Structure 1
Amino acid sequence: MGTFRSRITGWVTRWYLARAQRRGGLDLQKVLPDTALTALRRDVLDPVPELAEARRTEPVQKLALPFDVNVWLVSGYAEAKAVLGDGKSFSNDFSNLMSELGMAPSDDPGGLGFADPPAHTRLRKLLTPEFTMRRLSRLRPGIEQIVADRLDAIEEKARSGEPVDLVEEFALPIPSLVICELLGVPYSERDEFQHLAVARFDLFAGAGAAVGAISESLEYLLRVVKAQRDDPGDGLIGTIIREHGDDIDDRELAGLADGVLTGGFETTASMLSLGAFVLLRDRETFRRVREDDEAVRLFVEEALRYLSVVQVAFPRFAREDVEVGGVTIGKGDMVAVSLSGADRDEVLGEGMERFDARREPTQHLAFGYGAHRCVGAELARLELRAAYAALVRRFPDLTLAVDPGELEFRQTSIVFGVERLPVRLS
């Protein structure tokens, strides 16, 4: 088992790092004005000051773009909730985006994130029971074992005397292996499964590359679904097949599984690496998380809010003229909601621009809001709590192996992250 997981880890890491270095396709930094990229920029971990200024002065702001489409940036907390929670006035239908990009509707990946009611309502009812705490509790031992195995691997690698990259050895393998467990992907197919862990949110790759990655994922998952029709496994795919049979067709089920992969891999990997960086630069919080389970819970919630790694929600399209924050958004206009901006809004409390590990949990939007709120939120919390606590308890003398200024953070990426996080165990 250890050898197999090492092979998986090696594959996904090599693939991920190669993708992170890829700069082909459409370079949005050359095409779009700086103001259009404000919501995707950071100053280390913090959104750039221009985003806070936009939230303060114009929380619903029309972007100046060199295209024949009206795009609005929403950065205020109340305004963000108004858009995310209004499924009547705003559409998530993927065909809207395909139309704007000039691509075929046949490229629609399906799944919850790209569907409107009544299709969304029906599909979510099928998926939600699989993400209740009662169902997820069966994954807890497996998650803890995956984390323990990764810490063993880190300790083994550190014996060389060289720094260990927490992105490579910790943040990437944990969510990919947890998703394997959740979906019920057979061990014999988990090498191939890693191809599905494609970061579709790096805007440097261009829209065409993202759609191609979606197609690759669906083709593979369709094969998995068809195989499990004949012999359902114990994971999410097999369970839905046993409980709902032909009420859901193969493409719909593959789309749901693809959504689990899309929502649960890179986002959790980014949280694990960035949260570890927060701990490494705040030794008092590091100590408290190591010693107190309640401190772990508070740290995870504050890290989710403060980091908001999904910087912008999937775009909505106005079904009709609608007023948000005193501004009229026209029918057909695209709306981008800045989650990282909204989660720093002072309406959530004082000092929202600061990280405070003792802060009581807020009603942050890190998992979204409304009908499209992330169905896997509790699974993510399980992973983060288990991983952070185990990391600092196993390695109490963990330190960053480079100057923080040497770290490379992603630029203009919908999912924010750090490329490498070299550490020493002592």
Structure 2
Amino acid sequence: MDAPTHHADPEQAPEHVAEPSPEQSPSAMRRLIPEEMLERPAACPFDPAPGLARRRGQGPVQPLELHNGAVAWLVTGFDEARSVLADARFSADRVRYRDATQLQPHEVAEMAAAAERGEPVCPAPVDSRADGMFVFMDPPEHTRLRRLLTGQFTVRRMKALESRVTEIAVEHIEAMKAAGTAADLVPAYALPLPSLVICELLGVDYADRDRFQVNTSIALNANASDEDRARAGGELYGFIAQLVAAKRAAPGEDIISGLIQDAEPPLSDAQLVDVALVLLGAGHETTANMLALGAFALLQNPDQVAALRDDPAVVDNAVEELLRYLSIVQLGVSRVATEQVALGGVTVPAGATVIVATPEVNRDTRHWTDPDRLDVHRDRVPHLAFGHGVHQCLGQQLARIEMRVGFTELLRRLPDLRLAVPATEVPLRNDMLIFGVHSLPVAWSGAPGPDGS
């Protein structure tokens, strides 16, 4: 699918568009979680972090002390996680409610003192949200933006993209083969495939990819300084703000133009920029890491690769199994209880923060037999890699198409694909909010592998 593109110049961004609030940045959460709950083991980087693994069997809902002194509730059970994500009593609104994963120690102490005095948990006095960060909203504000976006992400539109996704995949694989018998799969294939697709959907000039990819990477890096993250976020915001201004002046066939034309009442520039930022970041970061980490996992399980090559029709099942098995979000989403809620045998008090531990939730032994094993023939059982409830991933069908095509073409066109380095030398993204690999050196067609073969 062809889409009008525009080359964004952040120097020309509209001055009236404000930069995103740092309180809504998920990087704060990454720094407050104990490291043992996040750092995946080098020996088996596809498994949940050791801290999560040690908690298995200790109950589906458990207290978790954060580095700021707050006690959150960690949800590791599948049924309990679905309940949280579908229950309106657990709020995603980080403007009105105080999410413990975003608080400073003195704020935690203030909340504890208020609770001791018996004061009720009250939301911040916000009449209405003027931003477009729909992932951090509750109905009805979330409902309006979600409905507008659902109208852009139709099943018909996504299916029409499949031939274009295949074209992009084949083009990049053939370019890898033409360049030799080895490559880094991340920049050569896993990253450009979803990046090109989301650029075309949003009407972004793909020539600008380095600017938004680099800045997105810095903004999602938990080890980057606050100054570097703020600078990267500001540059990314300016980039998208200028793009929105261009789409207002000359609408095209892209999603941003559709939102400008279809919204009634109209969305503000600030709302459009926020929405586009979420779509651009989620549209390439998550799928790119699933493609790279998924390829790594398959290459470490030759029997599973053989199963896919013997019967390509298994790929749909394989995609769902990889989504479950890898669960690339580092820990999971958080919610705030707006009232006291009974959950998984414990009582979650009003105002408490609940964290859905997706990597462990997707390995709940009550739902999966031998959940730590990758099995592309496993009977399909619903997983929470795309979330659940009103916030379930908007672009999940597109992501499935990209993975289905991406893995199929990779294994078909490079039948002897293998790692070009020992598995222990593959650099893991433990420093990032979305797990994966920073690079994945691979070889094919007679190039020597890690054991010299």
- TM-score, reference length from structure 2: 0.79
1:219 is the counterpart of 2:238: yes
Q: 1:99 to 1:310 in 2, by over 3 A?
A: closer
Q: 1:380 to 1:99 in 2, by over 3 A?
A: closer
Mapped contact 2:63–2:74 kept (Cα < 8 A): yes
Q: 1:393 to 1:410 in 2, by over 3 A?
A: same
Mapping of residues 186-201 of structure 1, within 5 Å: 186-187=205-206, 189-190=208-209, 192-195=211-214, 197-198=216-217, 200-201=219-220
Mapped contact 1:27–1:204 kept (Cα < 8 A): no
Looking at secondary structure, tell me which structure has more helix per residue. 1
Q: In the alignment, which of 221, 228, 240 is matched to residue 202 of structure 1?
A: 221
Mapped contact 1:158–1:424 kept (Cα < 8 A): no
Q: In the alignment, which of 136, 154, 166 is matched to residue 144 of structure 1?
A: 166
Mapped contact 1:94–1:108 kept (Cα < 8 A): no
Query: Secondary structure of 2:156's partner?
Result: helix
Identity %: 39
What is the match of residue 14 of structure 1? none
1:62 is the counterpart of 2:63: yes
What is the match of residue 22 of structure 2? none
How many Å separate the matches in 1 of 2:132 and 2:354?
A: 20
What is the match of residue 117 of structure 1? 139
Offset at 1:342? 0.2
1:414 is the counterpart of 2:413: no
Q: For residues 324-355 of structure 1, give each alpha carbon's deviation from its aligned partner in whole angstroms, at most 9, with x where no partner exists.
A: 11222222222221100000002222111211
- The farther-off stretch of 311-320 and 352-361 is 311-320
Mapped contact 1:40–1:414 kept (Cα < 8 A): no
Q: In the alignment, which of 177, 180, 194 is matched to residue 199 of structure 2?
A: 180
What is the match of residue 338 of structure 2? 319
Structure 1 residue runs without a partner (length 5+):
1-24
Q: For residues 160-184 of structure 1, give each alpha carbon's deviation from its aligned partner in whole angstroms, at most 9, with x where no partner exists.
A: xxx3111121111112111101112
Offset at 1:27? 12
- Give the number of equivalent residue pairs: 395
How many Å separate the matches in 1 of 2:346 and 2:228?
A: 34
How many Å separate the matches in 1 of 2:318 and 2:423?
A: 21
The structure with more radius of gyration: 2
Q: Which amino acid aligns with 1:237?
A: I
- TM-score, reference length from structure 1: 0.84
Mapped contact 1:27–1:203 kept (Cα < 8 A): no
Mapped contact 2:29–2:102 kept (Cα < 8 A): no
Mapped contact 2:299–2:418 kept (Cα < 8 A): yes
Q: 1:210 to 1:122 in 2, by over 3 A?
A: farther
Offset at 1:251? 1.6
Mapped contact 2:218–2:224 kept (Cα < 8 A): no
Mapped contact 1:202–1:415 kept (Cα < 8 A): no
Structure 2 residue runs without a partner (length 5+):
1-26, 108-125, 446-453
Offset at 1:141? 2.3
Q: For residues 280-328 of structure 1, give each alpha carbon's deviation from its aligned partner in whole angstroms, at most 9, with x where no partner exists.
A: 1223322332343321111111000000011322321222222211222
How many Å separate the matches in 1 of 2:415 and 2:195?
A: 26
1:41 is the counterpart of 2:40: yes
Q: Which amino acid aligns with 2:314?
A: A
How many Å separate the matches in 1 of 2:158 and 2:30?
A: 39
- The farther-off stretch of 245-254 and 258-267 is 245-254
Mapped contact 1:92–1:314 kept (Cα < 8 A): no
